Structure 1
């Protein structure tokens, strides 16, 4: 089914176009990643497709049967209402019933729960409620009565994501889901679950993300906005990198050819008399076309990070028997470690286990309860924190940078002025006189990185550095960090970024325990999954009660009893499976009709595939519930 057609779309803010004369199509089942540098118009294009912004020129057609859902980086809520009220905002009997049921469960009022269960039964809402429970549970959203205005930034993003996923699950099946950086503020387990969910739901997807593993797991096509144009690449991120390199090489060769022709034509133009013939006028017009092509600049602009690093002595940092607690909550229990020159360590763990506290203790920003932290005399920290820039909005970019220094030393000697250094960080002269509050999130991150690196740090601490950075900038940052000679400590949920840069991990397991894992992020996740699988197998074995009497050993049944809702779900599943099997058999008989039109046969075949997936999912759930009965 055809969802969207766009022809000749153009959008500008001021004189500079974000994109110009771009055309594309989106069909049912497409899974597309949209990538570009910050400020090129990714988010703007999503808002245009969602109907919240308009184009300057071009035609946009959206199928009337298609619902367009947009998950934005800065989600909008009714701030005075609860999480529950914001998530279940749609006025529909089923959504109302689920909202009342969730509300009753939180209140723990038996009468309200009984009334809510009756209403759920009447509307047959249990299947959708089970999906809602899964989404809320996996995104760690539990306190539904909290007021949205009191939530942290990460909590707001997760609530907005849950709201979007529940909305598209409730809408009819023809939905285009557009997501702008959905993995920001999600831990790895949540990201892996979201990958699986989006693949299982068979949604049509247009995605903006900097997470390359997530991109490869979910998308099969990449669109790139560059120099006002759109380029389409089929396949994964690696294929995109290869194809883009080949395209740039071809375009550069074409420009070199145009430059040679331009030199010849320029010499001819200078020799021409003022009165030109029709033939010479035609050649003159061609000259201006060749000139425009010859003067193109398509070199893939990159952030050059040839920054001088202060010398790092033999002694770096040593932590001896460090203890730290907040009340009854231990953060570190006797932590011991000696850092070596050039170490590259990743830090992982759930929120609230003490990662940020550890970084602060290392830098001397917080004091441990006991133990010692000894730093080498030559250590200079560069702290890229999640707090971002501390700025005054009435300053321009160039003025802000000059508050730190007028010039910056380079690794190969010499120095650059503040303006020159800004250009290396992809801030052209016209951008340098922009006010700080007008910068995008990614541009502010890039500026934050600049202000850290010019101090010549030899011990870099990067706390979620990939959030809000575009993929081209990330690739250059990774290249710089891979050659960086100082120490690196990285806190990140970006698996690709961590895998490329770290040698081992500090795993904060909670209760003050920090494990030194000898490997990268992916290796750690594989070990975790293997351990989980072993645990499941061990728990599945019957437990034998030991006894000294002559009685035979008894099996201890540790099964929990099913709730009323689970019993009802079990009964409904049996009926639904029977109905699906009957529909499948009927469709298979219809497919045997040789006279049926091709379009109808295609629809029947697709429906049989959908039914098979539904049967598999419901059978798994039936087996899970049958263990409790």
Structure 2
């Protein structure tokens, strides 16, 4: 069934043409990613699809029989609403009833008249009638995972990150047939991202998403739409397959353009030598020359972001942290933390939202104070701090003036000096864009300008707080290449698992209550060990319960739990075997999904099968728990 059709869509802003006559569609069950460079029009295209913007030409048709939800980068809210009112605002009778149930529960805590109790009895009956308890449990799970705890807080009191998570909860709770998401992993911690990844893999919905998270792309999407130079390219398969096919396509295009350029040189020589009197007789040749010229100059100008700024010399002593303590009220961020930084260290910082990762970076750079402890800095250390907040850019200022405010001339790693204009060209700001106003820049272009400003100080100790947000995949790849070769120290906070795995050697794990553990390895290594620990803890807990039952004194018959029947015992044992087999099958399918399978139909089948297996595991696990409660 067709869910979405876009036909001959074009959009321009002034002289800037984003895309022209692009067409694509989305079928039921497809999970598609849209990728493009910053400023190419990804968000504009999503806004057009969802009716928030209109195309210059073309049309978009969305199936009238489906429910569509859109998670935008900057969700809009009714500021006077509470969290509960927003996330459960719906035409669904079930969701409306769950909302009333939660409101009455809260009112009952302070009501002394008895009215709330009567209302609770009434709404509980409605919950029973609509069989809404499963929906309530699912809603509580989504809100719990996304750390949305105070349901009665006003939207106007929330931070930007909290707002994005509430918008996320809203679209997931609505259970749409078609879900459109623009950078869904921004403002989520790593645990939330991994949960969302699994949720979307198993969810029976169609998906169109924009994200820079390559692991996320690779594991969820079975098709990639690439918007490049105003043209749409379609790639069946996951992100790894897309990268392979894109490289093949660009190689073929480059070879074709090179051939056309060689032919054009010969034709150009002929055109220059052609006698004017014979011009009318050679008109066909002139027309062919014009066609050839167009092809020879059609090669994409890949404005590669070049990061090669000079690094300040670094001495032997870098930075030493001595007995650092930091708290906010009752919340402890650091508790007697000690560390000596060494040359060329590459450290990733991980931990749940709110444990103090950004505070730690602010302490190191002197933007925040310590309660106790001391930081000794080496004399040659020059920090480059890329913070989440970025720089305050004046909207009516030109791009080149932002750079000139820092320096007119910038020394580079190769010994040359660059003007502000030349530096901006290396950061993929062509001359025509350098004199554009900051207000015209996309989110990713603003972040690129900020990165340029940070590196202009020639740092030898880079501190990056969520540098991947809003950057396109091409810029991310080049930034990673630069950081791999960067000879100084690197300290990075990021929710991009691919970025972290590629760049860091070890981790500072913020576990909460001021505890920070130094883990020697990459993020994927850390997660593997954590999963093994969790599995072992579950096994030990199961053994402990079993042992307690065996050691428990025999109670009088009236108090004894019913024993499992022979049939139930056989079912109990079979369930254990079934669950193990299903887990193994799920693991095998996940490996296939992340491996060599490129066929679109097969990828869709695998994704659907994984969702069915997870549902089956949950069902069998519930039955196993029921039987486990009985005495064997």
What is the alpha-carbon distance in structure 2 between the residues aligned to residue 122 and residue 66 of structure 1? 25
Segment drifting more, 114-123 vs 379-388? 114-123
**Residue number in structure 2 paired with 1:137:** 144
Q: Answer yes or no: is the 8 Å Cα contact 1:543–1:555 preserved in 2.
A: no
TM-score (norm 2): 0.85
**Residue number in structure 1 paired with 2:125:** 118
Q: Answer yes or no: is the 8 Å Cα contact 1:346–1:498 preserved in 2.
A: yes
Q: CA deviation at 1:420?
A: 0.7
Aligned 1:153-232 pairs, distance under 5 A: 153-167=160-174, 169=175, 175-232=177-234
2:464 to 457, 462, 465: 462
Q: Answer yes or no: is the 8 Å Cα contact 1:7–1:59 preserved in 2.
A: yes
Q: Which ranges in structure 1 are unaligned for 5 or more consecutive residues?
A: 557-606
Q: CA deviation at 1:111?
A: 3.8
**Residue number in structure 1 paired with 2:74:** 74
Q: CA deviation at 1:150?
A: 0.9
**Residue number in structure 1 paired with 2:565:** none
Residues 105 and 620 of structure 1: CA distance in aligned 2, closer, same or farther (over 3 Å):
farther
What is the alpha-carbon distance in structure 1 between the residues aligned to residue 626 and residue 159 of structure 2? 36
Deviation sequence 1:284-304 (CA, Å, 0-9, x none): 222111111112242432110
| Partner secondary structure for residue 541 of structure 1 | helix
TM-score (norm 1): 0.86
| Partner secondary structure for residue 535 of structure 2 | helix
Deviation sequence 1:78-104 (CA, Å, 0-9, x none): 111111111122234222111111222
Q: Answer yes or no: is the 8 Å Cα contact 2:201–2:611 preserved in 1.
A: no
What is the alpha-carbon distance in structure 2 between the residues aligned to residue 334 and residue 19 of structure 1? 55
The total of aligned residue pairs comes to 570
**Residue number in structure 1 paired with 2:98:** 98
Residues 555 and 397 of structure 1: CA distance in aligned 2, closer, same or farther (over 3 Å):
farther
What is the alpha-carbon distance in structure 2 between the residues aligned to residue 67 and residue 115 of structure 1? 30
Aligned 1:354-393 pairs, distance under 5 A: 354-393=356-395
Q: Answer yes or no: is the 8 Å Cα contact 2:221–2:239 preserved in 1.
A: no
| Partner secondary structure for residue 33 of structure 1 | strand
**Residue number in structure 2 paired with 1:247:** 249
Q: CA deviation at 1:22?
A: 1.7
**Residue number in structure 2 paired with 1:477:** 479
Q: CA deviation at 1:608?
A: 12
**Residue number in structure 2 paired with 1:47:** 47
Residues 608 and 181 of structure 1: CA distance in aligned 2, closer, same or farther (over 3 Å):
closer
What is the alpha-carbon distance in structure 2 between the residues aligned to residue 189 and residue 149 of structure 1? 26
Q: CA deviation at 1:426?
A: 0.8
What is the alpha-carbon distance in structure 2 between the residues aligned to residue 472 and residue 325 of structure 1? 39
What is the alpha-carbon distance in structure 2 between the residues aligned to residue 610 and residue 407 of structure 1? 56
Residues 366 and 53 of structure 1: CA distance in aligned 2, closer, same or farther (over 3 Å):
closer
Residues 126 and 248 of structure 1: CA distance in aligned 2, closer, same or farther (over 3 Å):
same
Segment drifting more, 198-207 vs 239-248? 239-248
Aligned 1:140-539 pairs, distance under 5 A: 140-167=147-174, 169=175, 175-274=177-276, 280-539=282-541
**Residue number in structure 1 paired with 2:564:** none
**Residue number in structure 1 paired with 2:60:** 60
Residues 16 and 356 of structure 1: CA distance in aligned 2, closer, same or farther (over 3 Å):
closer
| Partner secondary structure for residue 231 of structure 1 | strand
Q: CA deviation at 1:424?
A: 0.6
Residues 515 and 59 of structure 1: CA distance in aligned 2, closer, same or farther (over 3 Å):
same
Q: What root-mean-square deviation, in Å, do the aligned CA atoms of Structure 1 and Structure 2 show?
A: 2.5
What is the alpha-carbon distance in structure 2 between the residues aligned to residue 542 and residue 341 of structure 1? 47
**Residue number in structure 1 paired with 2:587:** none
RCO comparison, higher one (Cα < 8 Å, 6+) = 2
Q: CA deviation at 1:141?
A: 1.3
Deviation sequence 1:100-159 (CA, Å, 0-9, x none): 112223334444433221111122222322222221122111211111111111110011
| Partner secondary structure for residue 261 of structure 1 | helix
Q: Answer yes or no: is the 8 Å Cα contact 1:544–1:555 preserved in 2.
A: no
**Residue number in structure 2 paired with 1:25:** 25
What is the alpha-carbon distance in structure 1 between the residues aligned to residue 457 and residue 279 of structure 2? 63
Q: Answer yes or no: is the 8 Å Cα contact 2:309–2:456 preserved in 1.
A: yes
What is the alpha-carbon distance in structure 2 between the residues aligned to residue 193 and residue 46 of structure 1? 24
Deviation sequence 1:456-497 (CA, Å, 0-9, x none): 000000001111111110010000000000000001111101
What is the alpha-carbon distance in structure 2 between the residues aligned to residue 39 and residue 148 of structure 1? 30
